[in-house]
Amino acid sequence: MTQAASQLPAPFVYFPAMKILSSNAGLAKIIIRRRGAVFVALYLALAGLPMTRGDDAPSSADFKVIDRTNFTLKYPTAWKEATDDPDYKAESHFTMNGPEKKQSYVSFDIVNKTEDPVKLLASTIEGLDGYAINALTKTKLEEWGTFKGQGMHLKGKILGTYPGGIKIFIFNSDHHNIMVIEYYWAEELKDLQADIDFIQNNFTMKS
């Protein structure tokens, strides 16, 4: 524990930056981002203090485009590609962070068809439930945007404390397995759901 963390008042609990990996290291990955903001939000929630909100998310009509070898993605301009992540790979592993002051994000892993999607989904859920989230409900998913596949919506308490959810969805293209993970805090959805839907409906595989 860091010196700064040791000085935090009770009942604050220190959570280090956390990575949850499946058996396929490098594919199934959840990163609890913006650690300082998470600390503050968790402390305010535990202490019963009000949380301030960032500005409303922009209209999904305002978007940018990522165009790469195997895919294209349109996304709202307030969202940012996390190019400074240590595991960032432009063609295969990248994350779209929500607008400033928001904790929600959408991550993409694009790999060759070497993993059994059923086993991959099961191992990912096992690696997340009880660690990144304490799931109170689990709902099967069969669609993400225009894609058919399989997935699971884990809904409960992020880090055992804050209401939210994680959606894991896996689908196939001609030559790749694609895993998408949506991580959200429940209180942000009224601002961000339209943006997340826009990302879902504007991700296209080329091969």
pLDDT one-digit tens code per residue, 24-50: 333 334 444 443 444 444 444 444 444
Task: Give the least confident one: 20-29, 87-96, 115-124, 194-203.
Answer: 20-29
Mean pLDDT of 48-54: 42
Question: What is the domain partition of the chain in residue ranges?
Answer: 3-205
**Token pair belonging to 4:** 């700064």
3-205, superfamily in CATH? Answer: Mog1/PsbP, alpha/beta/alpha sandwich (3.40.1000.10)
- CB–CB of 178/109 below 8 Å? yes
Q: What is the mean pLDDT of residues 83-100?
A: 95
Share the mean pLDDT of the chain: 78
Instruction: Report d(CA 77, CA 66) in Å as an integer.
Output: 11
H helix runs in the chain, sequence order: 3-6, 35-47, 117-128, 189-201
Positive/negative CA dihedral, 62, 193, 81, 171:
negative
Q: Alpha carbon of 144 to those of 44, 153, 180, 181: distances in Å?
A: 33, 11, 9, 10
State residue 77's pLDDT score: 95
- Displacement of CA 121 from its chain's centroid (Å): 15
pTM of the prediction? 0.74
pLDDT tens column, 134-178 = 999 999 999 999 999 999 999 999 989 999 999 999 999 988 999
Residue type, 32: I
